[in-house]
């Protein structure tokens, strides 16, 4: 962190600004809580939507990009921002979109090969990969960040359990889920870089648009587009759920994450994503009437403890 504008290099996911030096901004922490709430709706909404998983991933990004397009095209400031964006910024935005598409493209198919518990446990290794990538990029994450990430991940394991199988199919699914967690870490870090110089609206428009195009290609290559798989035969109820998923999980969830990552840093942001697992269990209980497992509340407490340790480590740095 900094004092009086002096830069101290080598800290993970932090940006030495006066605002950060005075402490983590409360408003951004509140926005982070809203983002996690929106993302926690993702699992129950996907489970309740009668459409292929990759098609759902495509539509949530395509609809989000379409919703942002008028804002970008009609606002002079937004158009000017994208027009003067440098090549590096554009490449990072497209790269973030590719990583988000890779996250969806790896994780969703993993559910067909391995158990849901194993898939969730492995895809939520994102904060561990984020911290490791920051270290490889030359930062020195404080010990509190390492410890907090491990504790938060232990909370997810407490809820999902560990039932890794040695069958070839299950191992392939586990590898896909692990790759999805790695891709999500790269997505968070790329967004942190771009958001230093580009607004949330401009960045998410480029990112979601890229993700939608790549996922459309995956749907076409995988035969998902056939027989109305991309929406030709969807009932009105399915479209309403897709719109709800876009508004809650994409525009509120992912967009607010990208909004707060410059102030809070990628370590805190990625660790907060672990709250999606117990959060989805609570949402499913309230909305779908599915009682959460007995470990849901202790797991939520452990994840929150880990997040608190990460926040404390970042703040002390």
pLDDT in tens, 162-175: 555 556 767 888 88
Question: What distance, in Å, lies between the first and last C-alpha atoms of the chain?
Answer: 6
If you average pLDDT over residues 228-248, what whole number do you get? 87
% of the chain with per-residue pLDDT over 90: 31
pLDDT at 255 over 70: yes
pLDDT at 22 over 60: no
Size (the chain), residues = 317
pLDDT at 39 over 60: yes
Q: For residue 112, what pLDDT is reported?
A: 78
Which phi and psi angles does 6 have, rounded to 5°?
-75, 135
pLDDT at 288 over 90: no
pLDDT at 18 over 60: no
Helix ranges (H only) for 111-199 are: 116-123, 126-136, 143-160, 168-194
pLDDT band at residue 282 under the 50/70/90 scheme: confident
Q: For residue 139, what pLDDT is reported?
A: 82
Q: For residue 62, what pLDDT is reported?
A: 96
Q: For residue 165, what pLDDT is reported?
A: 55
CA–CA distance, 282 with 156 (Å, rounded to integer): 14
Q: For residue 17, what pLDDT is reported?
A: 41
pLDDT at 8 over 70: no
- Whether the CB-CB separation of 276 and 39 falls below 8 Å is answered with yes
Q: Is the pTM of this model over 0.85?
A: no
CA–CA distance, 149 with 206 (Å, rounded to integer): 30
Q: For residue 243, what pLDDT is reported?
A: 95
Residue 43 Cα distances to 83, 135, 245, angstroms: 37, 31, 9
% of the chain with per-residue pLDDT over 70: 84
């Amino acid at each position: 962190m900094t004092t009086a504008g002096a830069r101290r290099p080598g800290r993970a996911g932090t940006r030495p600004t006066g605002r950060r030096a005075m402490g983590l901004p409360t408003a951004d922490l509140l926005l982070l809580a809203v983002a996690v709430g929106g993302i926690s709706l993702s699992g129950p909404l996907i489970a309740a939507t009668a459409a292929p998983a990759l098609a759902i991933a495509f539509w949530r990004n395509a609809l989000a990009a379409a919703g942002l397009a008028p804002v970008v095209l009609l606002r002079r400031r937004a158009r000017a921002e994208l027009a003067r964006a440098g090549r590096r910024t554009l490449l990072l935005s497209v790269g973030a979109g590719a990583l988000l598409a890779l996250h969806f493209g790896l994780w969703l198919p993993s559910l067909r090969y391995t158990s849901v518990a194993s898939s969730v446990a492995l895809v939520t290794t994102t904060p561990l990969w984020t911290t490791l990538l920051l270290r490889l990029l030359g930062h020195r994450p404080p010990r509190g960040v390492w410890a907090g990430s491990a504790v938060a991940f232990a909370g997810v394991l407490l809820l999902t359990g560990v039932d890794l199988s040695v069958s070839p199919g299950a191992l392939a699914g586990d590898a896909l889920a692990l790759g999805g967690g790695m891709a999500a870490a790269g997505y968070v870090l790329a967004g942190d870089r771009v958001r230093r110089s580009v607004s949330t609206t401009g960045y998410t428009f480029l990112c979601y648009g890229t993700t939608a195009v790549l996922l459309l290609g995956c749907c076409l290559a995988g035969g998902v587009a056939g027989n109305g798989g991309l929406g030709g035969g969807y009932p009105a109820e399915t479209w309403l759920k897709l719109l709800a998923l876009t508004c809650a999980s994409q525009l509120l969830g992912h967009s607010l994450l990208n909004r707060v990552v410059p102030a809070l840093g990628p370590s805190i942001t990625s660790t907060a994503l672990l709250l999606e697992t117990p959060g989805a269990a609570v949402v499913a209980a309230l909305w779908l009437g599915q009682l959460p497992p007995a470990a849901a509340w202790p797991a939520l407490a452990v994840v929150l403890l880990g997040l608190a340790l990460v926040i404390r480590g970042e703040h002390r740095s």
